Amino acid sequence: MEECSKELFARACKVIPGGVNSPVRACHNVQSSPLFIRRGQGSHLFDVDGNEYIDFVLSWGPMILGHNDPEVTAAIAQAANFGTSYGAPCQAEVDLACEVVETMPSLEMVRMVNSGTEATMSALRLARACTKRNKVLKFVGCYHGHADPFLAAAGSGLATFSIPGTPGVPACVVEDTLLAPYNDLEAVAALFTQYPEDIACVIVEPVACNMGLVLPKEGFLAGLRKLTRSYGALLIFDEVITGFRCALGGAQSRFGIDPDLTTMGKIIGGGLPVGAFGGKREYLEHIAPAGEVYQAGTLSGNPLAMAAGLATLRKLKTQDYATLERRTQDFARELESILKSKKVPVQVPTISSMFSIFFTDTPVKDFATAKTADQGLFTTFYKQMRAQGIYLAPSSFETGMLSFAHSSEDYTRTLEAAAKVHF
Ligand code: KE4
């Protein structure tokens, strides 16, 4: 007898903390329990209870081509026939590195790792080594993975659980982490004035996706570039979500900014565990064994993961990003007007193939304003949409994603479901 989601979750809770391998999947913030997924196909997920969903989470970003894309799955299967890991260089990692360097405008070199967390953790170490400075400036509500230095006030899961930092991170580790509100250039300038020679880097989500979707204000990213240049700090674009999604060349190509370092994840692995950090040669050549900054990983450059990433990026070069963006905009506009007709405060920001839903009329420009959104309304919306077969991110601090596999019928069905929600 196959176990249902509830039975699986009960068994999981006995052996896995919280029954999940990543907190946000537990759906605590929307008073729900997680669905256990049996399989994904295109824009749909199928849970173990026999239900089908239109998927707007897409594994938190990687599945921009949709689930079980034939080319990607075939590439993984073919690679698997040659073994799963060598712990030695293979052609696939060179091919993927070349593909990434060709695709992301600012990159001259790249190092593969196994997650976005590893990518940002390594990029921070590199920035500190290259500048011989210790302080890192990040933005409240931006999430850069769970490496200690970033958990001073992270977005994503931590924001959902409203934990300002987390136990287990020594105060000495986050005392070099400076915080500024997103979109607040004056606050950044003030920190540089206060610490003119101590800031190794500014790390930023060029489009913030971990406090819900918050777009950079006109001039914000260019202002960061100018300030970091003038104070000798490195600018790190955390493109773990925006890379290959905001545009094929990421947010840096969309906004025309030239960061010193870029971190990547999610799409770069086509659904398998891959992260990467890259940037100018003059910096990357400090990374061991070329240079003295130690960074390593048993499964970095894993042949199956590289094959999945390569198949994904090569296929993305043939996709029509402009049409996907237009469809996302139309969908978000329609969704916003349906929800407004229900006399609730709501805004549905969107950019490229991303959107989020804030139940507030306060213009959202940073984490403080994102937090004005009514979580109760979001929970009501989430539950009633899931009951109608629409799989949304279980938190208003996450970002909804669309894929090239989503069909016009998916959009129509989702909007019809939204029209039936009652608050
Ligand atoms: P991972 O270590 O989870 O691969 O990547 C960390 C990371 C780094 N930078 C950005 C901008 C990110 O969004 C992430 C991870 N994103 C979350 C979703 N918002 C992952 C979901 C989860 O934690 O389960």
Q: Is the pLDDT of residue 405 over 50?
A: yes
- Higher local confidence (pLDDT), 291 or 156: 291
**Distance, CA of 125 to CA of 179 (rounded, Å):** 18
pLDDT at residue 156, as a whole number: 52
pLDDT at residue 153, as a whole number: 67
Please say if 266 is a catalytic residue.
Answer: yes
For residue range 184-210, list pLDDT tens digits in order: 999 999 999 999 999 999 999 999 999
Q: Domain segments of the chain: what residues? A: 5-65+320-419, 70-316
pLDDT at residue 166, as a whole number: 84
Whole-model pTM: value is 0.97
pLDDT at residue 353, as a whole number: 98
What's the rounded mean pLDDT across residues 294-312?
98
pLDDT at residue 2, as a whole number: 86
Q: Is the pLDDT of residue 74 over 90?
A: yes
Beta carbons of 26 and 158 less than 8 angstroms apart:
no
Beta carbons of 303 and 86 less than 8 angstroms apart:
yes
User: What are the residues whose beta carbons fall under 8 Å from the beta carbon of 149, sequence distance 6 or more?
Assistant: 121, 124, 136, 173, 174, 176, 177
Name the residue of 63, 144, 399 whose CB sits within 8 Å of the most ligand 1 atoms, as the mutation to test its pocket: 144
Token pair, residue 47, equals 């849970």
Which among 55, 138, 143, 391 is annotated as catalytic? 143
pLDDT at residue 208, as a whole number: 98
User: What are the residues whose beta carbons fall under 8 Å from the beta carbon of 127, sequence distance 6 or more?
Assistant: 136, 200, 201, 233, 234, 236, 260, 261, 283
With a 6 Å cutoff on the Cβ, whether 117 touches ligand 1 is yes
With a 6 Å cutoff on the Cβ, whether 156 touches ligand 1 is yes
For residue range 233-252, list pLDDT tens digits in order: 999 999 999 999 999 999 99
Classified by CATH at the fold level, domain 70-316 comes out as Aspartate Aminotransferase; domain 2 (3.40.640)
Ligand 1 closest atom vs CA 210: 19
With a 6 Å cutoff on the Cβ, whether 141 touches ligand 1 is no
Please say if 69 is a catalytic residue.
Answer: no
With a 6 Å cutoff on the Cβ, whether 350 touches ligand 1 is no
What's the rounded mean pLDDT across residues 340-362?
98
For residue range 156-177, list pLDDT tens digits in order: 544 433 244 789 888 888 888 9
Q: HSE-up of 180 (CA within 13 Å, CB side)? A: 20
**Distance, CA of 27 to CA of 391 (rounded, Å):** 12
Beta carbons of 271 and 59 less than 8 angstroms apart:
yes
155 CA → ligand 1 middle, Å: 10
Reported CATH class of domain 5-65+320-419: alpha beta
What's the rounded mean pLDDT across residues 81-97?
97
Split at pLDDT 50, 70, 90, the class of 340 is: very high
Chain CA centroid to CA 93, Å: 22
Please say if 238 is a catalytic residue.
Answer: yes
